[in-house]
Amino acid sequence: MARAGFGPQAGPVTNDQARRRDGTDGGQETSAAGEELSLFADPRYAACYDAFFPWEDREDFHFYLPRVTAADAVLDVGCGTGMLLHHAREAGHAGRLVGLDPAPGMLERARRRTDVEWVRGDLRSVAWREEFDLVLMTGHAFQELVTDADLRAALRAVSAALAPGGSFAFETRNPALRGWERWDFEYSLAVPDPEGSGGTVRMAMQAEGPATPAPGGGTLVRAVTRLTGPAWPGLRTHRSAYRFLNAAELRGFLAEAGLEVAEQYGDFDGSPPDDSAPEIVTVARRA
């Protein structure tokens, strides 16, 4: 079961260096201009993503949806295929919904709904000021902010985008559980080809190399995703990096951006945070 999807749903937030390594093991594809084609720029993968991580398995989306429907204006950072905002409209949200993502393949799928604002870019390319009652980062996208500079810039942009009284909601995996050691089991997935070929699309993800201390605090984990299916002539490979911060480290970075923790949970069922909890689910507001 996919508890909260995986970072690649929203991964193109700032993990550019890791993305430029995409396409090894014979899996590199190029655009018509000769540029490397990121896995998340590929609409064929975007179609598979929703099959790998369907709505009924997305515990994070079920946690966040009531908060989305209660807010007048919502920004989903790293919206991916737009599944959460699609469901918010279907649930009756009548206010402003904005999805931000730099991956064209993901946004192509998101734009099946035209009653949501879809913006191609990331938090470095936009400058909203006090416009949103709720800013979200789901699918562990927050963990792809792997450098201090990326993390601080993103949190400053989020803080600026929040309207008075607004909230920033996101989740990270609890580093105490060392969950990356089980990724090869948790993220070994197979689904029928959504393009209708009759074949099977398989995805396997695992940590690559040992976890290392992250400059500035926390733990840095590199990962490799391998994908096979009828849409690709060979193995497609994507490499990425994820930063694990504990609750105290998160509070420190939030405080630098003028944000403070208003609520914090150990999982999407609202249970309290502790060293045995799988997640650190945080709702922050301006201090």
pLDDT digits (tens, 9 = 90+) for 21-78: 233 333 444 433 333 457 888 888 999 999 999 999 999 999 999 999 999 999 999 9
Strand partners, 202: 190, 228
- What confidence score (pLDDT) does residue 40 get? 82
- What confidence score (pLDDT) does residue 33 get? 35
- What confidence score (pLDDT) does residue 14 get? 35
- What confidence score (pLDDT) does residue 5 get? 55
- What confidence score (pLDDT) does residue 35 get? 36
pLDDT in tens, 191-217: 999 999 999 999 999 999 999 999 999
8/143 Cα distance (integer angstroms): 10
| Mean pLDDT, all residues of the chain | 89
Q: pTM of the entire structure?
A: 0.89
Q: Give the ranges where the chain is alpha helix by DSSP (H).
A: 16-19, 43-52, 59-70, 83-90, 104-110, 148-161, 183-186, 247-256
Residues of the chain falling short of pLDDT 50: 1-2, 7-36
Statement: 55-175+245-286 belongs to CATH 3.30.200.20: no
